[in-house]
Structure 1
Amino acid sequence: MTSRESGRVKDAEKRRVLDDASRKRRARKAVEALEQDNFHDDPHADLVMSKKVPKFADSNEKPTRKKKSKSAEYYKMRFRKTFAQLVEEDANFRPEPPNYLSAQVPPSNFPDRHFCAVCGFPSNYTCIPCGARYCSVRCLGTHLDTRCLKWTA
């Protein structure tokens, strides 16, 4: 009688396995890439409406010019700040603690909670090559197809 073995465990020896330092470096690079993709200026902020817009109102009425006042929401969207700018502004505004840079919490008494890197549900399993967490066979398939070892170490 032959014993069956897991294909995942058998393939694990063929793949490269990352150490903790490489995993942390890869996670930091992934977060930096997300931060760069996350914030961008409005591409339509500098567009100017054309003066040659057709007028559909009756020509007998004399148009009254009324200057529009721009709301505070306009300036919030136009001059958005990045997270780094907000932290720096907070540190300059309130140099004495407590501020964002001085806030600390002691370590938790409870064990770490692990969440799936694909869907975010609680996970019980770890990818052998890269150390990412997954919760099911479906998430493992997604992880192997799109995420596993895609970031350069």
Structure 2
Amino acid sequence: MTSRERESRSTASGRVLDAAARYRRQKKALEALEQDNFHDEPHADLVMSKRAPKFQETLESKAGTGLKKKKKRDSEYYKIKYRKPLNLLVEEEQLANPEGPNYSSCAAPPSKFPSRSFCNVCGFEASYNCVSCGSKFCSIKCSQTHQETRCLKWTA
């Protein structure tokens, strides 16, 4: 039996995935998250009125409405109204300064320390991998939580 067959065989605990299948599933999950997060605020241009509808007007209330004050808007109002998404800010910065350092051209040298892996359940440093999906976890309790709720073996 070759190592490829051992990686892709089924076991009693569930289906074991090879590295390529794990990568495809991880990429699919990241694309779903990106699609879910990337959109303009649907209610950004919605203007709410603070005045409640008046159902009963009397002659006394109509007499006092002759003068209207102009409402002053502070800087927060304009910051929220004309807010720009990150992709638009990055494009503007790149067009304004194409040669110099900008968001898309910045880079850091690789670390001189080995990379660390963190638990997908609690965030502490992880020592173990899930056999089915390759996710990292740090303890038996986190392993059980991962198997019950987060394991990719349940997704198609």
Pairwise same-fold verdict (TM > 0.5): yes
SS across alignment from 1:28: helix
Number of the residue aligned with 1:121 = 124
Please report how far the alpha carbon of residue 89 of structure 1 lies from its aligned counterpart in structure 2 after TM superposition.
2.5
SS across alignment from 1:88: helix
- Give the letter for the 2:46 counterpart: D
Number of the residue aligned with 2:7 = none
Number of the residue aligned with 1:33 = 32
Count of residues paired in the alignment: 140
With the length of structure 2 as denominator, give the TM-score of the two structures.
Answer: 0.69
- Give the letter for the 2:105 counterpart: S
Please report how far the alpha carbon of residue 101 of structure 1 lies from its aligned counterpart in structure 2 after TM superposition.
1.3
With the length of structure 1 as denominator, give the TM-score of the two structures.
Answer: 0.70
1:42–1:78 Cα contact (<8 Å) kept = no
2:143 matches 1:145: no
- Give the letter for the 1:125 counterpart: Y
1:127–1:133 Cα contact (<8 Å) kept = yes
What are the equivalent positions in structure 2 for 1:55-94 lying under 5 Å apart?
Answer: 59=61, 61-62=64-65, 64-94=67-97
The structure with more helix, counted as a fraction of residues:
2
Q: Structure 1: any 5+ residue segments left out of the alignment?
A: 1-11
Number of the residue aligned with 1:5 = none
SS across alignment from 1:90: helix
Q: Structure 2: any 5+ residue segments left out of the alignment?
A: 1-9
Tell me the C-alpha RMSD between the 2 structures: 3.1
Number of the residue aligned with 1:3 = none
